[in-house]
Amino acid sequence: MKHLALSIRQPWAWAILNSNKRHENRTWSTRYRGPILIHAAKGLTRDEYKSFLMFYEHEINYGPPYPPSCPPMAALERGGIVGRARIVDCVKASDSPWFGGPYAFVLDDVHPMPFIPYRGELGLFEVPDTIFATGETVA
């Protein structure tokens, strides 16, 4: 069995798994609805990290309880599978502070997973069951 995955740059992947980020912005739309693995891309520049922190500290304000602090850049897992979610919609507009368009995949049923090194690809890409050492399946 194969699973679909979506590569997401850090710390945005961290925010999906830890800070209720439920809109993943893309320049392309998808008709796919269903489970995906969340792949943390390998690349991350210092400027990208600083840009995320500025956005996170100034735009994401849930009030008490406050969202978790973003880990240091070196602590973010990169270059592998870090979680799973379900794409439930693809929208062109949203009131969410996470929406930046022009499209966003709406995510639900988000769960972190133990890190599994795996090379990412563009778009939705297939990941074989064989990467799961325990033989577990991910639905």
pTM value is 0.88
By the 8 A CB rule, do 126 and 138 touch? no
By the 8 A CB rule, do 39 and 118 touch? yes
Q: pLDDT digit string (tens) for 37-72?
A: 999 999 999 999 999 998 998 887 656 667 788 999
Domain boundaries 2-129, corresponding CATH code: 2.30.130.30
- pLDDT at residue 69 in the model: 87
For the chain, the structural domain boundaries read 2-129
Determine the Cα–Cα distance for residues 106 and 97; give it in Å rounded to an integer: 13
Q: pLDDT digit string (tens) for 70-97?
A: 999 999 999 999 999 999 999 999 999 9
Q: Which of 9, 5, 27 is nearest to 116 (CA)?
A: 5
Tokens 């799961």 belong to 132
- pLDDT at residue 125 in the model: 92
